[in-house]
A and B are shown apart, each in its own frame.
Chain A
Amino acid sequence: MSKLFSQQVPAPSTSTLEVPSRRSFFRSGGQLTLSAMALTMLSGLNAKVATASDKQTMIDIQIINTAIAAEHEAVAAYQLGAESGLLSTPILNVAVQFQGHHKEHIDALTKAVKSLGAEAVDPLAKYLFPVEKLKSETDVLTFAASLERGAVSAYAGAIPLFEQRELSKAAASILADEAMHWAVLRQALGLDPVPGAFFS
């Protein structure tokens, strides 16, 4: 049976608003790109809300909040991996970086929900993970890869449902990030990082 894993979710990162040096920007692989793009995409939402029907707006809010709930869980999962003591330093650094991306997704999605006049869902106090199955770095990477793979499908399935295209664009931007996570994790596992041409 799965054990209960209690997770204290740290405060969202605000470092994305800082302007890095040119060298540190390239060293970080352009980590700011996603959040900047997503926030730009979401910036025009308020004006468009007035034209969206209440019912459709409620659907958009529901979609975003489901995504936020999944992103909170991803943050908790990476925290579990980071604290497991099973990850080598290079893999740990990647895990922490990916966790930071998920926190940025939460920030951007939370802004989107608020722009629609609603509140974002909070993280759960506790998350269930198959802790007893995570006995090696490979186990942790496999677990993380399965979550990222599923996230790609979740965003791919959500994008067509949005009433507002700006939200679809933002979700597609996040999907691309999740897909890169999945590919990197597969590469670390010694698997083909991009095992096909299409994914649903």
Chain B
Amino acid sequence: MICRRVMSVFVYCILSVWNNGIYAQEQALGLLPEVQKTIPVQEGKSHYAMCLGCHSPGYNRTGPKHCGVFGRLAGSQEGYQYSEALITSLLRWNRHTLDLFLEAPTKIVPGTSMTFAGISDAGVRAQLIDYLATLAPGHKDCE
């Protein structure tokens, strides 16, 4: 009896870890559009105004475009000339890496062209990342 309970708890834990890993991978690869669309992103889109001096969702500017950024390897957006520092950073953009980078770009990737002190407010970063997560190809802001 005890063995069965221990086994069931053990199996539950294994499956939970496994599923969380898959979820994290899918999220990193931008494969969860249904989930992302349910996130309220108005605040994040509002914060995105601070990015518009250099970035745009749909086209490369002084900074690279943001459509499809989730799951993308840093420094890999076609048609944009990145700093060597970002290309060699080997970062892949997901919620965690974006949060670290947006908090202090030049500390996480010394030598990046994104010479911006960073966003210290974790809540603002989270909302901004919520919006970035919605910017999959086909999003109206990507047109």
Contacts and interface: CB of A to CB of B under 8 A. Distances in A.
Interface of A: 1-2, 59, 62-63, 66-67, 69-70, 73, 127-130, 146-147, 149-155, 157-161, 200
Contacts, number: 71
Given A1-B143, A70-B53, A158 B58 contact: no
Nearest to A73: B62
Interface in B115-136: 115-119
B48 to A, nearest CB: 9
A149 B114 CA distance: 17
B67 to A, nearest CB: 11
A130 B49 contact: no
A146 B59 contact: no
Nearest to A68: B62
Contact of A62 (B58, B61, B115): B115
B125 to A, nearest CB: 12
Contact of A128 (B60, B113, B118): B60
A67 B52 CA distance: 13
A154 to B, nearest CB: 4
Contact of B53 (A1, A150, A159): A150
Contact of B59 (A62, A67, A128, A150): A128
Contacts of B115: 59, 62-63, 66-67, 157-158, 161
Nearest to B112: A62
Which 5 A-B residue pairs are closest in the complex by CB-CB distance?
A150-B53, A150-B52, A153-B50, A157-B116, A154-B53
B51 interface: yes
Given A62-B113, A153-B49, 13 more contacts: A59-B106, A62-B115, A66-B113, A67-B115, A130-B56, A130-B58, A147-B53, A149-B50, A150-B55, A154-B116, A157-B115, A157-B116, A161-B106
Given A62-B111, A160-B117, A147 B62 contact: no
Contacts of B119: 200
Interface string B48-89: 011111111011111000000000000000000000000000
Contacts of B58: 1-2, 130
A70 B54 contact: yes
23 contacts: A2-B58, A2-B59, A59-B106, A59-B115, A62-B111, A62-B115, A66-B114, A127-B61, A128-B60, A128-B61, A146-B49, A146-B52, A149-B49, A149-B53, A150-B51, A150-B52, A151-B53, A153-B49, A153-B50, A154-B116, A161-B115, A161-B117, A200-B119
